[in-house]
Structure 1
Amino acid sequence: MLFDTITAISTPLGEGAIGIVRMSGPDSFQILSEIFKPFKKSNDVLENRKMYYGHIFNNAKMIDEVMVVKLPSSGSYTMEDVVEINCHGGMMPLREILALILSKGARMADKGEFTKRAFLNGRIDLAQAESVMDLISAKTEIGFDVAMHQLKGHLSEKITQYRDNLIGLMAEIEVSIDYPEEDIEEITYSKIESTLANIKNHLNDILEKSKSGKIIREGLKTVIVGKPNVGKSSLMNALLKDSRAIVTEIPGTTRDVIEEYMNISGIPIKLMDTAGIRDTEDLVEKIGVQKSKFYFNEADLIIFVLDASVALTKEDHEIMSLVKNKHAIVIINKTDLESKIDMNAIHSVLMDKTIIKASIQNELGIEALENEIKNMVFGNEVEVNYTDIMSNARHIQLVKDAEKNISDALNAVHSGMPYDFIEVDVKNAILNLGHITGESVEEDLMNTIFSNFCLGK
């Protein structure tokens, strides 16, 4: 039941200095008065937005010494009366305080229910609510900044503006449809086209920038491939600045896929070192090669490593034929040794790929690789405007759907179709944009979104 009093532990379970139990709802202040005894005169009333030291009691039994704060509905996160109890961060104090609050009539909060109430009470819109989880799960400073800008409502302001423009256009179309005989200025096809084309351009701009936003939020799946003994594991260790992968002179040392997360200029990278791709009779190595090919197909970015000190082999040519159709960077390793590789053959197959000459053992080429990855994500922009980046996959799809609706409406305009046909597509675009901010969201979708939140948020 919405708008009853809910409670949850809002900090991770385990040992820590401080743990927080949160309440929200109409009975929060009353429950606090029944279980909390401040370290002050008993007849004093606890003031709002002030932290008080005291103890939590279950009848005569003292549970823990705590610090508590009361936040009235006018300025709380949920726009309801909220209480936060800061206790010791062990498992037992948190669980005992939670159980005590539940015994006083509160119920356990569902996942994301505090943020859901903030949305339903009008404190934030749906896009801002979803950015809360993005803040919590951000892997880099840039990811955090993007989520923070969305929490502040920068994305919502743009989407709302485009939606309002479409609503205004639809109102004019409906007047022309419903009151053709009235002395009202009829909207023209040229005005419809101009308005729709302008909004379509803005949505296309958002979608173009969302490519980097999705990577910032979810990470760039990057797979290092190449035949055995070209320096793949050495490259991974150099990027991680740690000896994560075993490096030997023996080809086929890496038998399985090694995964690690790293940060390049604020971009979260899921880096995978794979077994060298080659024909082999070794059963274990063969399984590793099969895994390499699987991850190769799933990757956002391929780092293809070649050995400059040996001539191109059949395996190199086979891998090149696979890489040419992928987003890839080519590393020519071991350039400190005598070169025997045919660069012309590489350029002829991988003519559109960035090729970096490196000596991983001597730490040459690593910085160039990191800069190229940054350029692939952000383009050549020196400074990234975080307010323009959309990172949520649900939002991106809805903008794509709205852009498609507007394209269909423009096609109807160009074909001279009746206003009724144009109106249908404009309405669908309004609906899709409204799903982003929550203006037209269904209950089932809303419940699905908040079920992905952590408990206590």
Structure 2
Amino acid sequence: MNDTIVAIVTALGSVGIVRLSGARSLAIAQKLFRTKSSWESHRVLYGRVVEPQSDRVVDEALVLFMASPRSYTTEDVVEFQCHGGMVVGQQILQLCIKEGARLANPGEFTLRAFLHGRIDLAQAESIKDLVGAQSAHGVQLALAGLQGKLSHSLRELRADCLDILTEIEARIDFEDDLPPLSVEQIRGKLTTLRQKALVYLATKERGELIRSGLKVAIVGRPNVGKSSLLNAWSRTDRAIVTDLPGTTRDIVDSHLVVEGIPITVLDTAGIRETEDRIEQMGMERSRRVAQQADLVLLVIDSNQGWTEADQQIYELVKDRPIVLVLNKVDLGMTDNLPQLNIIAKVQTAASLQEGILALEETILRAINANKITEQNLDFAINQRQAECLQRVVDSLERVQEAINANLPLDFWTIDLRDAIRSVGEITGEEVTESLLDQIFSRFCIGK
């Protein structure tokens, strides 16, 4: 924490930013940057970045100095705003390292912000979610976390647990000086806290759907219109469409956002009996993708109706959630569907771009996403936070069991302390070095 770190904080583009943070940030910047302006905090300076020994100009740039504590990390921070591309930012980075800075570890800027008390651990994880958001809903959810909505609720939960613990321990230490403990009142408070924790826990599934999205595989026999369906849905020509069976031989994907839910659509090779080795490899990949998908769109030719080949494909994916897509309805319908274990069925004419809206509505209903988009989520927890909250729920249940078993007050406090500790692990009030390493190693370098 005493050294000065540096990293390129922007992706490849027309503008690049190189960030320094630490006690020597200003000294390093002043050695590398030539400007006629005076160095003042939070003032943008114009000048040239130079190689100090030779005075060779590296770039014409802007520099922003942010004096401690008014910066992202609360340390002295300097940002070089230079031209983009692959070379200039790397040159400035190497000059900073040569002058004594160290290349930042993944997430180290945010780690320093946490360790200096600028943000808590839940807010730090929201920054990672914000950077990786795949939709506007994902951005809103991450911003809510960054603004402390989850942290505020959790601090209230932890404070209420501490109040109960204080009340119980007071009776242990000063039993003769205080009125008897109201067991029913304690039971009521514990029930309320457990219900709160369960409400927070229930946001995980919705949050994961908004953050990570849905993986949808389009499967079916050759020439039923799978690629046409992908092109119509994505409004692009991602997949080649011909009348020849077996045209698609590899996985073609498209990334969509439907009602705020990121969806990765995977068009797979048509599954059929063939001697073509390349086509066989494509079909094997199709089977694997279908097994890993969150939802399978089983496409059939409505004009031909249900065939033996359709039945064979259905047998391969019947353990997955399935939406049956009756495509080519513009050419006619053959009503011979057997009894199938499917979520829903929908009619489309992909070549005419008909039925796509109905397909989207069917998928959203299938995953209950309509309920998600109708709700204004204040926050949603992630997997790590869910594991901590589950321990909170379990600990509070064990306190109730200790009360029901008429165990001494000391036994009540054991599990109550576990609940308090688990909440603290989410916000960072109870944290270990290994936990921090685990969390921040998932960040990109530069954050």
Q: Does TM, scored on the shorter chain, surpass 0.5?
A: yes
Letter in 1 for 2:26: F
Q: Secondary structure at the match of 1:73?
A: coil
Partner of 1:245: 239
Q: How far off its partner does 1:112 sit?
A: 1.4
Change (3 A) 1:306 1:430: farther
Q: Is 1:191 matched with 2:185?
A: yes
Partner of 2:16: 19
CA contact (8 A) 2:207 2:380 kept: yes
Partner of 1:47: 40
Q: How far off its partner does 1:350 sit?
A: 3.2
CA distance in 1 between counterparts of 2:67 and 2:421 reads 35
Letter in 1 for 2:354: L
Change (3 A) 1:197 1:312: same
CA distance in 2 between counterparts of 1:288 and 1:408 reads 53
CA distance in 2 between counterparts of 1:239 and 1:87 reads 40
Match of 2:80 among 85, 88, 99: 85
Partner of 2:127: 132
Change (3 A) 1:257 1:102: closer
Q: Is 1:33 matched with 2:30?
A: yes
CA distance in 2 between counterparts of 1:280 and 1:195 reads 66
Partner of 1:256: 250
Q: How far off its partner does 1:297 sit?
A: 2.2
Change (3 A) 1:299 1:33: same
Per-residue Cα deviation, 1:81-136 (whole angstroms, up to 9, x for no partner): 11112222244432333333333332222221111110000000111112212211
Matches for 1:389-428 after TM superposition, within 5 Å: 389-390=380-381, 392-428=382-418
CA contact (8 A) 1:306 1:331 kept: yes
Partner of 1:272: 266
> How many residues in Structure 1 have an aligned counterpart in Structure 2?
444
Partner of 1:449: 439
Partner of 1:341: 335
CA distance in 2 between counterparts of 1:412 and 1:252 reads 65
Q: Secondary structure at the match of 2:45?
A: strand
Partner of 1:287: 281
Q: How far off its partner does 1:181 sit?
A: 3.5
Q: Is 1:56 matched with 2:49?
A: yes
CA distance in 1 between counterparts of 2:70 and 2:344 reads 53
Partner of 2:370: 379
Matches for 1:295-314 after TM superposition, within 5 Å: 295-314=289-308
Change (3 A) 1:426 1:230: farther
Q: How far off its partner does 1:438 sit?
A: 1.0
Moved more, 297-306 or 397-406: 397-406
Q: How far off its partner does 1:46 sit?
A: 1.9
Q: How far off its partner does 1:442 sit?
A: 0.7
Q: Is 1:231 matched with 2:225?
A: yes
Letter in 2 for 1:67: L
Moved more, 219-228 or 273-282: 273-282
CA distance in 2 between counterparts of 1:30 and 1:78 reads 17
Partner of 1:433: 423
Q: Is 1:210 matched with 2:207?
A: no
CA distance in 2 between counterparts of 1:325 and 1:435 reads 37
Letter in 2 for 1:6: I
Q: Secondary structure at the match of 2:242?
A: coil
Letter in 2 for 1:168: D
Q: How far off its partner does 1:161 sit?
A: 1.4
Change (3 A) 1:101 1:403: same
CA contact (8 A) 1:212 1:377 kept: no
CA distance in 2 between counterparts of 1:85 and 1:234 reads 48
Q: Secondary structure at the match of 1:255?
A: coil
Match of 1:350 among 341, 354, 375: 341
Q: How far off its partner does 1:170 sit?
A: 2.2
Per-residue Cα deviation, 1:201-221 (whole angstroms, up to 9, x for no partner): 223223333212112212211
Q: Secondary structure at the match of 1:21?
A: strand
Q: Secondary structure at the match of 1:270?
A: strand
Unaligned runs of 5+ in 1: none
Change (3 A) 1:150 1:181: closer
Partner of 1:326: 320
Matches for 1:112-123 after TM superposition, within 5 Å: 112-123=107-118
Q: Secondary structure at the match of 1:56?
A: strand
CA contact (8 A) 1:320 1:350 kept: no
CA contact (8 A) 1:55 1:62 kept: no
CA distance in 2 between counterparts of 1:133 and 1:381 reads 22
Q: How far off its partner does 1:49 sit?
A: 1.0
CA distance in 2 between counterparts of 1:197 and 1:113 reads 40
Letter in 2 for 1:114: F
Aligned-pair identity (%): 39
TM-score with structure 2 setting the length: 0.90
Partner of 1:364: 354
Match of 1:149 among 133, 141, 144: 144
Change (3 A) 1:299 1:23: same
CA distance in 2 between counterparts of 1:174 and 1:228 reads 71
Q: How far off its partner does 1:321 sit?
A: 5.4
Q: Secondary structure at the match of 1:423?
A: helix
Per-residue Cα deviation, 1:225-245 (whole angstroms, up to 9, x for no partner): 233332222211111111222
Q: How far off its partner does 1:180 sit?
A: 6.7
TM-score with structure 1 setting the length: 0.88
Q: How far off its partner does 1:417 sit?
A: 4.4
CA contact (8 A) 1:378 1:384 kept: no
Partner of 2:164: 169
